[in-house]
Amino acid sequence: MVEYAVAAALLLFVTGFVAGGLGALAGIGGGILLVPVMNAGFGVPFKVAVGCSLVAVVASSSGSAARYLGEGLCDVRLGIRLEVATVLGAIAGGLAAPWLPVNFLRALFGLMTLYLAAWQLRSARAPVESDVRESGPIRNYPAGIAFSGLAGMVSALLGIGGGALKVPVMNMLMGVPFRVSTATSNYMIGITAAASGLLYFRRGEVDLGVTAPMVLGVMLGSAVGARMMPLIPVPRLRVVFAGILLVITGQMFWRAAGMAARLGGEPPL
């Protein structure tokens, strides 16, 4: 039993390390990778897996944001303004969920992430891309706030982190440089994940035996990822981000088709 526990803890640590590293590079929480591994790989009940992954997302966000803040990559003022819209959207999404056709929304979101992935890949092939590391004048502020609210709503409705939408909103719509967008997204996702995580923690839906090794892996992974991010050329970061968007696309179509629920992977909404 002790051998099993140590082997399982090591596997969870490595999973957390990979998710933390990718999350720090792409400005996402990593829950999209962690929940299926815990649920399918370790048989952790879906709700408990979500609770554990939220703690990991907070650790990843805080760990990488600490580094990005130190390097001046995070736009704190923009982040806090967009956070208001995101949290409001998340609350609205949570309240509206029982009345909305969630599977249809998943399919729609899958199409959107597919389009965003294609856009990122096309941008990665652009001959020259500037590597600005500070926000200039922000454009389309009202639209950016509206889309951040939508990102919060989508994350609450579909059970994903909002980073997949926040990064494109800041980069494509508001003209924030790609590195600053991913760093600011990383910085922002911590508070929304903490709100949900505290709720799961209060309900006792955070398995400490799963969470501890995974979060330690995430902490190390996000520290390594945050050190690497400023050194990686923007086109390569875009490819990493596009890859994660394609994983999200696959998961959204899989869940929209009801496959996860049929296999006992998630409770019906």
Q: By C-beta, is 38 or 117 nearer to other proteins?
A: 38
Q: How far apart, in whole angstroms, are the C-alpha atoms of residue 135 and residue 197?
A: 30
219 scored as a contact of other proteins (CB under 8 A):
yes
Residues 6+ apart with CB under 8 A from 25: 182, 225, 228, 229, 232, 237, 240, 241
Helices (H), ranges, the chain = 2-26, 31-36, 42, 46-70, 76-96, 102-124, 141-158, 163-168, 178-202, 208-228, 234-256, 259-262
Q: How far apart, in whole angstroms, are the C-alpha atoms of residue 183 and residue 187?
A: 6
Segment 158 to 217, residues that bind other proteins, using CB under 8 A: 159, 190-199, 201-202, 204, 206-213, 215-216
User: What secondary structure letter does DSSP report for 4?
Assistant: H
Give me the helix-helix angle, 178-202 and 234-256, nearest 10°.
40
Q: Which of 19, 24, 33, 58 is close enough to bind other proteins by CB under 8 A?
A: 58
Segment 66 to 125, residues that bind other proteins, using CB under 8 A: 66-67, 69-70, 72, 74, 76-77, 80-81, 83-84, 87-88, 90-91, 93-95, 97
Smallest distance, Å, CB 124 to other proteins? Answer: 29
Give the interface size with other proteins as a residue count (CB under 8 A).
68
Smallest distance, Å, CB 66 to other proteins? Answer: 4
List contacts with other proteins (CB under 8 A).
1-2, 4-6, 8-9, 12, 42-44, 47, 50, 55, 58-59, 61-63, 65-67, 69-70, 72, 74, 76-77, 80-81, 83-84, 87-88, 90-91, 93-95, 97, 156-157, 159, 190-199, 201-202, 204, 206-213, 215-216, 219, 267
